[in-house]
């Protein structure tokens, strides 16, 4: 079906890019490698009215539509129209009210740098380059999750363009069901163009990289300490063969390590006391923990870094020494150029929010695990490795974080939502997108 490019150029104030235009290749590019999509047209909107015009044209002509949120956007693949929200990157900080409006294409790093100038923060993920719209609508699990909850727990309002082309202002009192759905249901219900966040006072944190030898005992001990730590502590541990890094002695290159980022929301004696048990698990190979502004804990990937990997995600109830021994053995067996297992211990403020308050319903899960196998060539062997390890580490009910679904999205989307949540999301999808216009995502079909 022909794409209505001429109509787009007439009705859109922002950029309308076709193959061969300056900026087209940059606009179609996504974070993950191995995705070489060529949409017929890319629209970089100037505002929500532009987004609404694109949505109406796509719906009216039956043209496939996808949305690139401004960051990683692994599901924005289309041969039709791609909306690239990275052009929407403004923000307004209200220091007196401790709130901020941010455009959905703004990155977590840019937003956090802007609010941190005032000693204020909102928790997002662990990477500066993710777009706010994508990470927020899925949940948002990062370095303040135990202290302040998920990103969606600080979402106060949003501007959403729905499938009928309406620009809707939503919050707990206005369009409450849509507001519930976009807090965990992903991009299924419309294009989120602006969001209002609650801000928390946090002038500085104590945190940074801590590299330890990876043994069954150190891994299990890390999980135990992260679970028992004060809620000010959130930690992410990556277990993998250590690559050559300037801050790691050469004799450790290629050996299994825990490369963790541990963050205490605050400074001083209480912070040092809370972080000491992690340092005492083993003699640190590298210890870069210290007092710093919160934006400095985010990782920053080079703009030209586009990894190719098989990834899997799961929630589990425990990782003990036997589980740790198993994952170390599986990492050693992998033929991947970089096999890795990431462990995030949850709980705290995230767990105190009722499970039905938002579409993210995994509030009671203690641990989230990400499995990755970076590779070149065929994915088959690495897919089997990742799937087998996912099954082996599963304890408790199956579960997956919708923001970390990959090529298993279609088969595992149901694991992202309990039955009651799934049914409610499908009803919301029926009400706001009955024709499933927004389907280039981890899709929830309308009831």
From first to last of its 447 residues, what are the pLDDT tens digits of the chain? 678 899 999 999 999 999 999 999 888 888 777 778 889 999 999 999 999 999 999 999 999 999 998 766 677 778 899 999 999 999 999 999 999 999 999 999 999 999 999 999 999 999 999 999 999 999 999 999 999 999 999 999 999 999 999 999 999 999 999 999 999 999 999 999 999 999 999 999 999 999 999 999 999 999 999 999 999 999 999 999 999 999 999 999 999 999 999 999 999 999 999 999 999 999 999 999 999 999 999 987 777 777 789 999 999 999 999 999 999 999 999 999 999 999 999 999 999 999 999 999 999 999 999 999 999 999 999 999 999 999 999 999 999 999 999 889 999 999 999 999 999 999 999 999 999 999 999 999 999
CATH class of 91-201+420-432: alpha beta
Residue 407 tokens read as: 């090529």
| Main-chain dihedrals φ then ψ at residue 137, nearest 5 degrees | -70, -20
Q: How far apart, in Å, do the first and last CA atoms of the chain sit?
A: 27
Which residues share a beta bridge with 84? 68
DSSP β-bridge partners for residue 261 = 209, 236
* 205-411 fold: Vanillyl-alcohol Oxidase; Chain A, domain 3 (3.40.462)
Burial class of residue 305 (count of CB atoms within 10 Å of its CB; 0-12, 13-18, 19+): exposed
pLDDT of residue 71: 66
Q: Which of 289, 183, 282, 292 is nearest to 235 (CA)?
A: 289
Question: What angle, 0 to 180 degrees and rounded to 10, lies between the N-to-C axes of helices 380-393 and 321-333?
Answer: 170
H helices then E strands: how many in the chain?
Answer: 14, 19
Beta strands in 55-104 (DSSP E): 65-68, 81-84, 91-94, 99-103
pTM of the model: 0.96
Measured CA to CA, the distance from residue 318 to residue 397 in angstroms comes to 12
List the chain domain ranges: 5-87, 91-201+420-432, 205-411
Tokens 């870094």: give the residue.
305
Pairing verdict, β 286-287 and 290-292: unpaired
Q: Tell me the Ramachandran region of residue 201: left when phi exceeds 0, alpha when psi lies from -120 to 50, beta otherwise.
A: beta
**DSSP assignment, residue 435?**
T
Q: Was domain 5-87 assigned CATH 3.40.50.300? A: no
Nearest-angstrom CA–CA distance, 420 and 366:
21
The predicted pLDDT at position 186 comes to 95
DSSP string covering 72-85, please?
Answer: --TT---SSEEEEG
Contact 141, 131 (CB under 8 A): no
């Amino acid at each position: 079906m022909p794409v209505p490019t001429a109509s787009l150029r007439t009705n859109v104030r922002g950029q309308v890019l076709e193959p061969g235009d300056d900026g087209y290749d940059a606009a179609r590019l996504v974070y993950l490698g191995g995705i070489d999509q060529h949409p017929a047209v890319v629209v970089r909107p100037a505002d929500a009215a532009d987004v609404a015009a694109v949505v109406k044209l796509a719906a009216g002509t039956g043209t496939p539509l996808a949305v690139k949120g401004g960051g990683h956007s692994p599901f924005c693949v289309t041969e039709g129209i791609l909306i690239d929200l990275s052009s929407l990157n403004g923000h307004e900080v209200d220091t007196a009210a401790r709130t901020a409006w941010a455009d959905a294409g703004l990155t977590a790093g840019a937003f956090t740098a802007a609010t941190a100038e005032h000693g204020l923060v909102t928790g997002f993920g662990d990477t500066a380059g993710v777009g706010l719209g994508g990470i927020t609508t899925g949940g948002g699990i990062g370095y303040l999750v135990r202290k302040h909850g998920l990103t969606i727990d600080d979402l106060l309002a949003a501007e959403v363009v729905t499938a009928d082309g309406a620009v809707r202002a939503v919050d707990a009192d206005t369009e409450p069901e849509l507001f519930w759905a976009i807090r965990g249901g992903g991009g299924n219900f419309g294009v989120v163009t602006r969001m209002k966040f609650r801000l928390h006072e946090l002038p500085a944190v104590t945190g940074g990289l801590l590299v330890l030898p990876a043994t069954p005992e150190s891994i299990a001990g890390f999980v135990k300490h992260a679970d028992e730590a004060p809620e000010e502590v959130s930690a992410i541990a990556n277990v993998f063969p250590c690559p050559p890094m300037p801050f790691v002695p050469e004799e450790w290159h290629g050996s299994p390590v825990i490369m963790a980022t541990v963050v205490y929301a605050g400074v001083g004696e209480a912070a040092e006391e809370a972080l000491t048990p992690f340092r005492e698990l083993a003699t640190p190979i590298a210890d870069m923990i210290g007092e710093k502004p919160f934006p400095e804990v985010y990782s920053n990937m080079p703009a030209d870094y586009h990894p190719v990997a098989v990834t899997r995600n799961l929630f589990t109830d425990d990782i003990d020494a036997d589980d740790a021994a198993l994952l170390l053995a599986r990492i050693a067996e992998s033929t991947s150029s970089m096999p890795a297992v990431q462990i995030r211990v949850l709980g705290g403020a995230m767990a105190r929010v009722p499970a039905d308050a938002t579409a993210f319903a995994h509030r009671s899960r203690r641990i989230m695990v990400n499995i990755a196998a970076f590779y070149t060539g065929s994915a088959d062997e690495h897919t089997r490795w990742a799937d087998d390890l996912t099954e082996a580490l599963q304890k408790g009910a199956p579960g997956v974080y919708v923001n970390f679904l990959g090529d298993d999205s279609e088969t595992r989307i149901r694991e992202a939502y309990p039955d009651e949540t799934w049914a409610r999301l499908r009803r919301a999808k029926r009400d706001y997108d009955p024709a499933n216009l927004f389907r280039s995502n981890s899709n929830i079909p309308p009831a």
